[in-house]
């Protein structure tokens, strides 16, 4: 199993990519759907919201009136924190429940609108950003969703900017053109990269890379993203994680206390997409055919 984080700014069209993945067999988890599910009529989540913000947040049918909730919950930091304390744990628990029920060979695609803003990128094997220029997004929001132009512009600017998204993007999908073009790009990504990536992780083997070894700023970006991923996986077991200049392309040096600690990282690194290279001691490679990386685990004790 691998987990793919899918995100993009409002109006970028990530639903088109999510649909293309689903048609190819993705196990899709939509954060917006879960957020609505955990506060549906009759749930403990909705009852807590009413207790915190009053009966006025309900519509005549007893369902949550999201505009009314926003008017009360986003007036100050304390109110926002109260809202998050009610909803976020429930969304997280339901998401984890769905992940646990996924098949062993699943490509789990988690559609998360605020993945970048929430600092969630290191939790995924791969992050896919769907992008469209601001003018295209404004046009989609006003013409297709009927959103007032000022409201659309405000929502776009309240989210992460392109630079922040590029910093966490393993894959950048340009959706400024026709829907069929981005759907085709998503299908190629699925067939050429995601399916082999998942199979390699499950088998615990290093990928035969389909791309040339990166260099310059591209290599720097990959190294930073992989470093963040490794930190999320190994935590305090790693004393340091640094670039390894002896490696052609992207190499990282992960220092641990002793051989026992190094051996203890084999399974979690493999599950994270970095299986051990056969015959190379504690050297790990990338299971992702689109991202050649070497991770050398060394002992410093």
Which residue ranges are tagged as binding site for ATP? Answer: 11-16
Residue for token pair 């990166």? 214
CA dist., res. 245 & res. 220, Å (int): 12
Which residues line the annotated binding site? Answer: 11-16
CA dist., res. 71 & res. 89, Å (int): 22
CA dist., res. 211 & res. 89, Å (int): 40
Residue for token pair 């947040």? 57
Are the CB atoms for 241 and 249 separated by under 8 Å?
no
Are the CB atoms for 1 and 108 separated by under 8 Å?
yes
CB-based contacts of 58: which residues, under 8 Å, 6+ apart?
A: 50, 64, 65, 68
């Amino acid at each position: 199993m691998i987990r793919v984080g899918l995100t993009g700014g409002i109006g970028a069209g990530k639903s088109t990519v999510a649909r293309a993945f689903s048609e190819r067999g993705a196990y899709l988890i939509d954060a917006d759907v879960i957020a609505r599910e955990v506060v549906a009529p009759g749930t403990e989540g909705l009852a807590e919201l009413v207790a915190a913000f009053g009966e006025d947040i309900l519509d005549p049918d007893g369902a949550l009136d999201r505009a009314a909730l926003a008017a009360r919950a986003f007036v100050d930091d304390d109110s926002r924190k109260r809202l998050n304390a009610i909803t976020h744990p429930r969304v997280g628990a339901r998401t984890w429940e769905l992940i646990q029920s996924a098949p062993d060979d699943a490509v789990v695609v988690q559609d998360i609108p605020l993945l970048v803003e929430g600092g969630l990128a290191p939790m995924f094997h791969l992050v896919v950003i769907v992008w469209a220029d601001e003018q295209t997004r404004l046009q989609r929001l006003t013409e297709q969703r009927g959103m007032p132009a000022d409201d659309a512009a405000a929502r776009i600017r309240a989210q992460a900017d392109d630079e922040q998204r590029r910093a966490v993007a393993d894959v950048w999908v340009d959706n400024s053109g026709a829907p069929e073009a981005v759907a085709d790009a998503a299908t190629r990504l699925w067939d050429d990269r995601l399916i082999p990536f998942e199979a390699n992780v499950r088998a615990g083997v290093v990928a035969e890379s389909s791309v040339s070894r990166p260099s310059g700023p591209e290599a720097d970006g990959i190294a930073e993203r992989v470093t963040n991923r490794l930190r999320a996986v190994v935590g305090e077991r790693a004393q340091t994680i640094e670039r390894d200049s002896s490696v052609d392309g992207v190499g990282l040096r992960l220092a641990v206390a002793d051989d026992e600690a190094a051996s203890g990282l084999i399974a979690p690194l493999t599950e994270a997409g970095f299986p051990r290279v056969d015959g190379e001691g504690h050297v790990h490679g990338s299971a992702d055919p689109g991202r050649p990386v070497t991770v050398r685990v060394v002992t410093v004790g």
